Structures are given as C-alpha cells and as structure tokens.
A and B are shown apart, each in its own frame.
Chain A
C-alpha cells in the first residue's frame, strides 16, 4: 500500500458508562439502591492519519483519552462510533490477525510473565506469533546489540529493574517484527540513563526497520528526542496535530536566563535589572531566573545588562520548558494562535 496512510482514523469516539457515586455515608447507602449512570465521552470524534515510518507523539493530561485511543487502535476496545483502519485491518473485527502485525508496550504493565525467566516468555511469544527459530535467534541477537539483553534473559521478570524490564518488553513487542508499534508511556518511572537507552533503541528500530511508532507519554523529552509530529488530546478531543517545531516556533515566546550570583553581596544590585517585560524569580538563595518575551527583549541586551550589574558565577539561556507550553495548551490558552 504505497502512499496510503498506515493508520487512518475518522471521527472515532468511545463512550463509557460510569456509575456516579453519591458522597457521604448516606450517599453510600442510597448508592446501594439507586444507581445513577452517566456516559463519559473518553474519546470524542478524533481524526488523524499516520504514514508508514512516522514516529508520532501522543500527549495529553491524565484521563485525556490517550490510553483509550491506544486500546482502540490495538483492538482491545471496540469504538462507540467512527472509522478506524490500521495496517489494512479493522482492529476489533479482525483482532487476532491484526495484532500479529503490531507490537504493543504498556509502560506500567508488562507482557512478560512475572515469575518466569525472560527468555521463557520470549520463547512463548515466539510460539504465539509463529516466529521461526532462525528469525527468533537473529532478532534476539539484534536486540541484544542495541539493548544489551543477554545479562538478564534468564532472570525472572519480578527481579528486574524497571528499566531492564522495559527493554525486555520492547524486545517482546518487536519479536515478530511488526511494522507498527504502539507504546503507552514507555519511559514512565525510568531513570535518565534508562530513558536514554529506550529512546536510542526506538530511534534505531525506526531507522533500521522503518517501524511506525505511536507513543503516548508525559515526558516531553521523549517527544523532543523522538518525534517530529505531535498530537495533543484533552477531554477526548484532539487539540493539535502537527509538527512539534511549528508549535514551538509559534508558541515559545518566552525565554529564560538562569544565573548564579557570586555571593550574597550581589543581591541588592539585582533590583536594578528589573524592568517591564522581565520576570525575575528566585530559584534558591544565589540562583535567579529571568523570563522574558523574546519578541520584545533582545537576549544579547539582557545578558549584557546582567553582566554589567552583578557579578555572576554561571549563566544559562534556555527556551521556556515545553512542559510550560503544554500546560498553557491544556489550560485552554495558546492553541488558537497556532491553529489560526
């Protein structure tokens, strides 16, 4: 299927019926006899397409509908309405055939079996997915090269660290070499080194096998390092779908200069820097941060002014953290500027 999207989603919705609990002790008693249900629209009429080989970041606050979307895309949940075609399949209708063509990793859970050695889980998955012994050996070899799996293949999963487990889970998800990989928060809870490992691996398989990746995350570094395109969802609605660069270019107006004063004697001079358009914040006793609108204040001028006013030990210029930007988007600000 050249030139056609790998995933095509149109007006996809998913409703859940949830039981509304009344508050308090009396409410609890009433709950036993009269139940009120409300319908929650977890995903509401979202549409998007993903091309082969893309790595797309799917972000949104907790409960925004990310996992529900992934569950529909992986055939676990049946949508309430809308169309969904992935890899040429309607996931929930042809589930068992479809899932042979995808890999799924849920970051907070493992598909490896808790009490048995990793290699046994992998062997079992080999049988489930009908992977030939030759392909199996070859892929384990490849994964070992990039992920360094060998050391703990014979360890039961429960004894692995989170980072080690995630590597094994990725290997398990990719054992049948699927062209499409869904990752639900793959770096959650991992330390910096482990995160780096996982990102490196994802880039490698994306380049080597042209694996299409859709990943949800709360860690925007994942997005910045892996994805050119992001989709932002909140309250079940798709708020933004486009290049990360565009979002930044349009929305990242503020920059920050962080600097450390040489000693306490510099403190009284700080007031001289303050002026309109600048926001001065204290980070700790000697470290301060100035946020400013880069369209109104020149970074070079500001630095010159700082250096001329106080004696400093260290200075760092950075963009507004992308978290701040996303927070503004979630809060309902900012996005109209991009979409207009």
Chain B
C-alpha cells in the first residue's frame, strides 16, 4: 500500500466528482435544501393547519333539551361554537363531517339542576378527528364550567367553604433540562438524518466510481496504470467516505441554521403551558460526538456500497442493488426512535441501530462510556470487514469484468 498512490487516486476522484453536477447535487444541494424544508417547511405547514382548525367555529347540534331552555340558551350564547338545528341522524352528520359534535341533554335537565337530582349529558364526537375533538372539548368545557358554578352556588347557599371540594391543587413541573427536552425531540431526528444522509451521500459516488467506471469503459484503463489495486480501492473508498460525511455534515449544519430560524415557529406549535420552559438548542459538542460515533458507520456504508456497486455491471444494475440499502438503514433508525427501545449490551452490537440509539443519548447529554466504547469498536469491526471485502473484490477478475 502506497499512501502517495492512494492520494493520487483520491485527488483525481475528488477533482472529477467536484466537476460532476450529479455528484454535487447529491452531496451538497440536497442536504442543504432538504433540511430547512423538512424543519421549517413541515413546522410552518402544521402550525398553519392547527391554527386554522382553532379559528374555525365548529357546528354543534343539541339533541333533546326542549324542556331545558336555560341550558340550551346558554349553549347558544357561546361564541366559540355554532349551534345548528337538531336532526335525528346527528351521528351520521358527525361522521360525514357536516357537524363537528353533538350534545344530548336528557329530559328535565334544567329541573334536575335546580332540584339537585343527578343527570347526565352525553357529548358525541368523531374520535381522532382534530376539528371534532376541538368542538367536543369546547362543549365539555362549557359543561364543566356549568358544573363548577352549580357546585359553588350550592355550597354557598349552605354556607360551606369552597375548599371542601377543592382540598388541594395539582401542578405540573418539567424537570428535564432544556437540552434533554430538545434531545427527546431532536434526538430522534438528528441521528436519523445523519445516518441516512451518510448513506445517500455515498450512494452516488460509490456507483459512479465502480459500475459507472465499468460502463464508461474506463475500468480497463485505470487497471492498466501502475497503481496497485489495493491503492485504487482505498483512493476510491476515501472519496466515497468524504462524500458521505460531507453530505451528513452539511445537513446538520443546514438543520442547525434552519432550527435557529424556525425556533419561533416551533415554539408557537408546542402546547402553551410548556412553551415557557421549552427551548430548542443543539449543543455543538454533542453534535461533534455524534459525528465521531457515526464515523465508523460511514466507513461501513462507503465500503459496503463500493463493494456492492463494483459487483454490478452497469449503473442501472448498481442502482437497483443499492436502493434496498436505504430501507435496510431506515428500519433500524426508526426502531431506535420507537418508545421503549433503549440501549443494552446486546443492542450495542447491532450496527446502525446501536449508533442511532447512542447518538440519541449523546444529544440528550447522557454519556454511557462503556456503551459508547462498545458501539464504536463493534462498528469499527464491521467497517473493517466491509472494507476488506471491497479490497478482495477488486482483486477478482470475474467481478471486475463481469459480463
């Protein structure tokens, strides 16, 4: 192995790649544009949708209540709902989304309220539908208020203090640091993006440098140069690795910038009560640590993609081999975000999944050094294995000149 020859091959391939528009798009343009689009774009879109739903005054139907003019009049007076004339097929109307909710008032409700006998109102809603949920919430809030007022009135009339039914208050307080809150939210998505882009960034150059070279017919010419095949693989491998890491790095950079811009937007999205203590911040050290953990994974991807693409005869064949690789990588990263999946010694040996899990922890500010070491070493072993397979394949005539 000659470092000088590896360097020559590397520089040549990089020079070539930087002049190739397709390579530039996959390596630079996609991650830079994709991230703001994902964070700000989707954030803005959902804020818009939720905002519109909140503004809308939902149509609510009152079923029954003919003998309870008091409560129906009060309901009609509510400004955040619109009471529509009653109809027998209210359930169907909710299902068809012509109205958002219905409330059934039992006969003699007003009278029962005055007499202090028990009564029950039923709220009909379409569960899972946001707008129906909002309507039902508003109706329920009205009845809760009515109940509270009634209780207070009854207690007052008997000279009993309010505290009898309100012995204590319950308050919620978030103990997770802002970093950890961000970790939970961003923690799932950052490793996912970094790992996935390490792969997608490597796919194009891996194909171009192997199957592409076969297709252009330049494989023979490069094999007839005085660069040993091992040096050739390493030169190509480092090119693919550079592309892979550059793609992931640019994506994180672009995401950090767009998160900064999109913070306000995201804040407006989160529940009002928690927004006060909630800040989005990615600690640069954690991101750097994540990159260190992802490094062996990027080596694994680059070497594996190079080996697989080398086996293909043509660009198209290589593409059809490498596309499923994306799914192979997406599945473990999604598993890592599932609730309840936590790092264990066994999971630490599963490539991709382990890196994704440990990255999530690192972004939350938790460093389990023994796991980190185990995962880093195991990933390095996988990466070395993939690299040696790639080198071996380059020595094989039946792979290089597959027809």
Contacts and interface: CB of A to CB of B under 8 A. Distances in A.
A99 B222 contact: no
Interface in B171-202: none
A95 B231 CA distance: 13
Contacts of B16: 113-116
Contacts of A100: 226
B154 interface: no
Contacts of A114: 16, 216, 218
A110 B16 CA distance: 14
A327 interface: no
Interface residues of A, number: 31
A17 interface: yes
Contact of B15 (A71, A97, A109, A116): A116
Interface residues of B, number: 24
Interface in A72-118: 74-78, 95-97, 99-100, 104, 106, 108-111, 113-116
A49 interface: no
A47 B401 CA distance: 24
Given A114-B16, A116-B16, A120-B15, A128 B220 contact: no
Given A77-B401, A116-B15, A106 B225 contact: no
A77 B400 CA distance: 10
A39 interface: no
A129 B226 contact: yes
Contacts of A127: 8
Interface in B217-240: 217-218, 220-228
Contacts of A129: 226
Interface in B34-76: none
A194 to B, nearest CB: 19
B397 interface: yes
B392 interface: no
A76 B220 contact: yes
A246 interface: no
Contacts of B20: 115
B398 interface: yes
A115 B208 CA distance: 13
Given A100-B226, A115-B16, A18 B217 contact: no
Nearest to A77: B397
Nearest to A129: B226
Nearest to B21: A115
A128 B225 contact: yes
A129 B227 CA distance: 9
A124 interface: yes
Contacts of A74: 224
A113 B403 contact: no
B12 A71 contact: no
A113 B11 CA distance: 12
Contacts of A109: 216-218, 220-221
B3 to A, nearest CB: 13
B12 A113 contact: yes
Interface string A285-323: 000000000000000000000000000000000000000
Contacts of A106: 217, 220-221
B346 interface: no
A124 B8 contact: yes
Contacts of A16: 403
Given A17-B398, A109-B221, A96 B15 contact: no
Contact of B225 (A18, A108, A110, A111): A111
B73 to A, nearest CB: 76
B15 A104 contact: no
B122 to A, nearest CB: 61
Contact of A116 (B19, B220, B228): B19
Interface string B203-221: 0000000000000111011
B235 to A, nearest CB: 11
A264 to B, nearest CB: 51
B17 to A, nearest CB: 9
Contacts of A120: 15
Interface of B: 5, 8, 11-12, 15-16, 19-20, 216-218, 220-228, 397-398, 401, 403
30 contacts: A16-B403, A18-B403, A71-B220, A75-B224, A78-B397, A95-B226, A95-B228, A96-B228, A99-B225, A99-B226, A100-B226, A104-B224, A106-B217, A106-B220, A109-B216, A109-B218, A110-B218, A110-B221, A111-B218, A111-B222, A111-B224, A111-B225, A113-B15, A113-B16, A114-B218, A115-B16, A115-B19, A116-B16, A124-B12, A128-B225
7 closest A-B pairs by beta carbon, nearest first, are A109-B217, A111-B221, A115-B19, A96-B226, A104-B224, A99-B226, A74-B224
Given A114-B16, A124-B8, 11 more contacts: A95-B226, A95-B228, A106-B221, A108-B217, A113-B15, A115-B20, A116-B16, A124-B12, A125-B225, A128-B8, A156-B19
